[in-house]
A and B are shown apart, each in its own frame.
Chain A
Amino acid sequence: MTATLLAIVATSQFMFFVVMFVWLAVARIYDERRKRRRRVEGARLSRALADLLGDRSTPEQFVAEMDGCDGEVIVAVLHQYAAQIGGDPWERVVHAVRNTAWFDRFITPRARSRFWWQRLVAARLLAIAGREQDLPLIRTLVRDRNPAIKVSAVQLLRRIRDEEVLQIVLDEALDAKPVVRRYLFDAVVSMRRVLVPVLAARLDAADNVPMLRLLITLAGELSAVEFFKHLHAHVRHDDMEIRVAVARALGSYPHPRTEAVLVALLEDGEWQVRTQAATSLGVIRAVNSRDALRKALADPNWWVRLRAAIALRQLGWAGSQVLRAAETGDDRFALEMARYVQGLTDEAVADYLT
């Protein structure tokens, strides 16, 4: 019984390995040939695209070259060029590609596929070659469960402005993980003119804390002066993290009233807010805030003292005067911190700021 079993197992394994080996050898040969063919196709298409961009050929000639090429090769070549060329020359290419029957044939089934990798390919192509008529598909892909698809699809906003996609992105950003959110933000920041009024309206209307914090962060990154009054409205928000976010956002651009607001935040009851306010004052080089920063040198919290001292270092000569005075003063906290920060090299201070 055992011998028969062993013989069956051994024979079937042997057969299996023979078949497997033949299959692998054939697959390797086929794969090498396919790669070679794709390389040739890619080079041909790349030359055609270069000719089109250099006005040495017409869009029709380029489209003719596309015929018969593998879809993946076309996408790869388009991506390669899209990374290097932008503006009108690229839009000419997009116009040529978008109007081919191939594009619809390639995109529509993939964008609606139940397989995420197919949707990913569609999102990637739409991001570089999509037009206004593709916005409904993009809206669906931006809402996709798969973050990689979301991130790819949203890149379209770098070329085409659409408020509806923007609103979707802002909603999606709330639940996205930090890196994904960062990508989404990077994409929407490029459509600043559309984004500023949308964001301002949302800043006024937002009633949930996480969303508000997110919007304030984004507003800070845009450094748009239009946001000041919308940010100022949240300076006394009940949630500490909102106040920290406001202090951080205010540090991203100078405004005549920014300094005063940040000085006020230096008196906040929470040390995290005071720390951020001190940091922001240093970032915007608020020379007139040196008295407030001198006071913060004696703050009961170490981080506030450190950030205030570093902010004073950033103010240049005026700030150094304050630190020197603190080094000979009576307050032990201020004295120690001033000595510590004065002893740091410029490189070490830069370390704290990065």
Chain B
Amino acid sequence: MVDTVSGLIVTADRTIIWYFLAVNSFYALLLFMAVPELWKHWKIMRNEDLRNYVGSNALPPISILIPAYNMEASITDSVSAQLALEYPQHEVIVVNDGSTDSTMQRLRDGFDLYEVPPAFPRHIETRPVRAFYRSRKRPGLLVVDKERGGKADALNVALSSARYPIVVPVDADTIVAHDALLRLVRPFLLGEHVAAAGGTIRVANGCRITSGRVSEPKLPIDYLSAIQVPEYLRAFLFGRLGWNRLGGNLIVSGAFGLFQRHYLLTIGGYAADNVVEDLDLVVRLHRQLRLEKVPYDIPFIPDPVAWTEVPSDLRTHGRQRERWHRGLIVTMFAHRGLLLNPKFGRIGTVIMPFFFFGEMLAPVIELFGYILTVLGLLLGLLSLEFALLFLLVALGYQMFLSIWAVILEETTFRMYGRFRDFMRMLVFAALEPFGYRQITVYWRLRGFWNAFRGLRHWGEMRRTGFSPTPDA
């Protein structure tokens, strides 16, 4: 009996090591694939004439969709910043999702709104719309006032109200770089069959913000925000970029991404019952386009940047990570028909299995790995070297990948100009697997628990907000 148990522990631990070796090697493959992609965009980026693009009517007009709930403090600045983006033709649609504060009044006062008739066919069922408004000051602005229905519901209203064929959903608290839209439409210029495209999300905490724009990127001072910087770099700079060459992206960030409007309408818009509506949307988009045999691309473009505030306190961070993982679990189960289904090409055979086994199950397996390793050490079943091997494969490999992400950033965009910031990023990339990672494992495991309980709410997200820094 004892032999059987000890044999099981050793075998399970070995299996877990192989699991991490496989998952982290897949990430290394993504990194490998990301390099030529990064090279391609880097080369074009250096040679493209954004000024010519602004002066031309060749680019497709864009509707920016902003769902807003209780954003009275920042809504006018945020909308003004989106209206001021450099792009030949774009409109901004703000949906006030039944705010209980003075968001709507701020919009009315700030933009001199007047009511217009609902001249938009209702494509998707949503909570009732109270009124549509246009601005006397800014012709490119449409404001929709509706009853509370959640972010997805608000986005669906915006989607129905959009005039243009391309929509870019943006979070109200996201700072989009002034030229990000021009860069985001690059796949159209490269003649790709674009169904959607994602841009890079970067951490705004700690940056100098002037007139609603990030004027000087800096690494945050506090540990929790700063450690998320290499994490975001890893996720975007090679995680998503690598997928460009492996069959397309499964996630286009809800904070900043681009979609062909008619595709979204075809799939019925955002699912109001999913807490990570962006992931669910892209999976449904893949499914539909694959079923219809429509040629399409969902590329990730590294240089269009949107800055977002990441949680700087543990509680909010935990809620965010729990919700992300809960959403991933719900989405994986909702679309389990795609898993290992060759009918859906690489989505079914590569991307979905990776997200299922490599992302969704990772915290469970990691927890087992920790427990079995400690148990094995205590019972004398495993040698110290074996335990170190486990740490090396599970955590060291990840550290190696995070450092690579920082190096990629340093050798290409170098957004953080100060050498000190680069050094700190390297340090945080090295520290991430120790402590921070285990905390996220805990939150992600809670995601499992809450998913099985059928929890649907977001949880309160506490933000400290951007305080504009005057120019020195």
Contact = CB atoms under 8 A, between A and B. Distances in A.
Interface of A: 2-3, 5-6, 9-10, 13, 17, 20-21, 24-25, 27-28, 79, 83, 116-117, 120-121, 124, 146-148, 151-152, 155, 176-180, 182-183, 185-186, 343-345, 347-348, 351-352, 354
B119 A120 contact: no
Interface in B347-403: 383, 385-386, 388-389, 392, 396, 400, 403
A83 B48 CA distance: 13
B59 A79 contact: no
B44 interface: yes
Interface residues of B, number: 40
A58 B91 CA distance: 48
A179 B407 CA distance: 34
B4 interface: no
Contacts of A345: 116-117
B185 A179 contact: yes
A32 to B, nearest CB: 9
Contacts of A354: 163
A314 B193 CA distance: 37
Interface string B48-64: 11011000111110000
B385 A6 contact: yes
Nearest to B132: A348
Contacts of A176: 191
Given A24-B422, A180-B188, 6 more contacts: A13-B396, A117-B43, A179-B58, A179-B60, A179-B185, A183-B189
Contacts of B52: 83, 155
A347 B426 CA distance: 54
A124 B403 contact: no
Given A121-B47, A124-B49, A354-B163, A177 B188 contact: yes
B190 A147 contact: yes
B321 interface: no
Nearest to B192: A177
Contacts of A20: 407
Nearest to A349: B119
Per CB-CB distance, the 4 closest pairs between chain A and chain B, nearest first, are A182-B58, A117-B43, A179-B188, A147-B191
Contacts of B411: 24, 27
B188 A347 contact: no
Given A2-B383, A6-B389, A347-B134, A120 B188 contact: no
Contacts of A179: 58-60, 185, 188-189, 191
Contacts of A17: 403
- Of A28, A151, A186, most buried by chain B (CB within 10 Å of CB) is A151
A347 B116 contact: yes
B44 A148 contact: yes
Given A6-B388, A20-B407, A186-B56, A348 B191 contact: no
A124 B192 contact: no
B410 A24 contact: yes
Interface string B18-58: 00000000000000000000000001100111011000111
Contacts of B190: 146-148
A90 B223 CA distance: 54
B20 to A, nearest CB: 14
Nearest to A350: B139
Contacts of B43: 116-117, 120
- Of B114, B117, B185, B383, most buried by chain A (CB within 10 Å of CB) is B117
Nearest to A354: B163
B192 A120 contact: no
B395 to A, nearest CB: 13
Interface of B: 43-44, 47-49, 51-52, 56-60, 114, 116-117, 119, 134, 163, 185, 188-193, 383, 385-386, 388-389, 392, 396, 400, 403, 407, 410-411, 419, 422, 426
Contacts of B400: 13
A146 B388 CA distance: 49
Contacts of B114: 347
7 contacts: A2-B383, A5-B389, A13-B396, A179-B59, A182-B56, A351-B119, A352-B119
Contacts of B385: 2-3, 6
A100 B52 CA distance: 27
A11 B426 CA distance: 19
Nearest to B406: A24
B123 to A, nearest CB: 15
A177 B191 contact: yes
Contact of A6 (B116, B188, B392): B392
B255 to A, nearest CB: 25
A183 B52 CA distance: 10
Nearest to A84: B51
Given A28-B422, A124-B49, A344 B60 contact: no
Nearest to B47: A120
A180 B32 CA distance: 30
A148 B419 contact: no
Contacts of B60: 178-179
A6 B385 CA distance: 8
A309 to B, nearest CB: 12
A28 B419 contact: yes
B359 to A, nearest CB: 25
A124 B51 CA distance: 13
- Of B51, B58, B410, B419, most buried by chain A (CB within 10 Å of CB) is B58
A124 B48 CA distance: 9
B407 A24 contact: yes
A348 B116 contact: yes
A28 B410 contact: yes
B189 A148 contact: yes
B340 to A, nearest CB: 33
B117 A348 contact: yes
Contacts of A151: 189
A343 B119 CA distance: 11
Nearest to B44: A148
Given A120-B44, A179-B188, A343 B389 contact: no
A354 B400 CA distance: 52
A249 B298 CA distance: 34
B47 A183 contact: no
B31 to A, nearest CB: 14
A90 B375 CA distance: 78
Contacts of B49: 79, 83, 124, 152
- Of A116, A117, A146, most buried by chain B (CB within 10 Å of CB) is A117
Contacts of A185: 58
Contacts of B422: 24, 28
B62 to A, nearest CB: 12
Contacts of A3: 385
Contacts of B191: 147, 176-177, 179-180
